Amino acid sequence: MEVLIPSRKVPVLAETDVLVCGGGAAGVAAACSAARHGASVALIERWPFVGGMATAALVNIWHRSDREKMVIYGLVEEVTQRAQKRGWATQYPSFPRVHETHWFDPEGMKIVLQDMLDEAKVRTFCYTAAGEPLVEDGEIHGVLVHTKQGLRALRASIVIDATGDGDLATNAGVPFDFGREGDGKVQGMTMMYRVCGIDEAKVQSLPDEDKQRMMTEMRAASVAGELPPYSPAFSLWHARNRCIPNMCPVAGNPLDEEELTRLTNESRRYVHAYWDWLRLRVPGLERVVIEQTGFSLGIRESRRIRGLKTLDKEMVLGAQKQPDALGHGIWMIDIHDPKGTGYTTWMDRNASNMVPEGQSYHIPLGICLNEQIPNLAVVGRCASSTHEGHSSVRVQTHCMVMGQGVGTAAAMALESGKPMHAVNIESLRKKLRADGVYLEEVPES
Question: 71 near 40, Cβ under 8 Å?
Answer: no
Last residue of a domain, one of 251, 272, 293: 293
The pLDDT of residue 444:
87
Q: 237 and 312, same structural domain?
A: no
* CA trace torsion 156, 161, 163, 167 (10° rounding): 100
Residue 115 lies in a domain: yes
Q: 363 and 270, same structural domain?
A: no
Q: 92 and 115, same structural domain?
A: yes
Q: 278 and 396, same structural domain?
A: no
Q: What amino acid occupies position 397? A: T
Residue 105 lies in a domain: yes
Domain containing 59 — which CATH number? 3.50.50.60
Last residue of a domain, one of 274, 293, 312: 293
Residue 275 lies in a domain: yes
| Residues belonging to the chain | 445
Q: Which domain holds residue 162?
A: 12-182+301-434
Q: Which of 83, 105, 63 lies closest to 292, judged by CA?
A: 105
The pLDDT of residue 445:
76
Q: 193 and 175, same structural domain?
A: no
Residue 136 lies in a domain: yes
> What's the whole-model pTM score?
0.97
pLDDT, block means (10 residues), the chain with 445 residues:
92 98 98 98 98 97 97 98 97 93 97 98 97 97 97 98 98 98 96 97 96 96 96 94 95 98 98 97 97 97 98 98 98 97 94 97 98 98 98 98 98 98 98 98 90
Count of CB atoms within 10 A of residue 390's CB? 30
Q: 340 and 213, same structural domain?
A: no
Look at strands 61-63 and 100-104 and give their pairing: antiparallel
Q: 413 and 389, same structural domain?
A: yes
Q: 279 and 155, same structural domain?
A: no
Last residue of a domain, one of 245, 263, 293: 293
Residue 5 lies in a domain: no
Residue 444 lies in a domain: no
Q: 332 and 370, same structural domain?
A: yes
Residue 380 lies in a domain: yes
End-to-end CA distance of the chain: 51
CA pair distance 378, 159, nearest whole angstrom: 9
CA pair distance 275, 270, nearest whole angstrom: 9
Residue 4 lies in a domain: no
Check residue 123 and give left, alpha or beta (phi > 0: left; psi -120 to 50: alpha): beta
Q: 422 and 370, same structural domain?
A: yes
Domain count along the chain: 2
The pLDDT of residue 85:
98
Q: 261 and 200, same structural domain?
A: yes
The pLDDT of residue 107:
97
Count of CB atoms within 10 A of residue 201's CB? 8
**Which of 285-314 are b and which e, b meaning 16 or more Cβ less than 10 Å from the residue's Cβ?**
beebebebbbbbbbbbbbbbbbbebbbbbe
Q: 391 and 335, same structural domain?
A: yes
Q: What amino acid occupies position 350? A: N
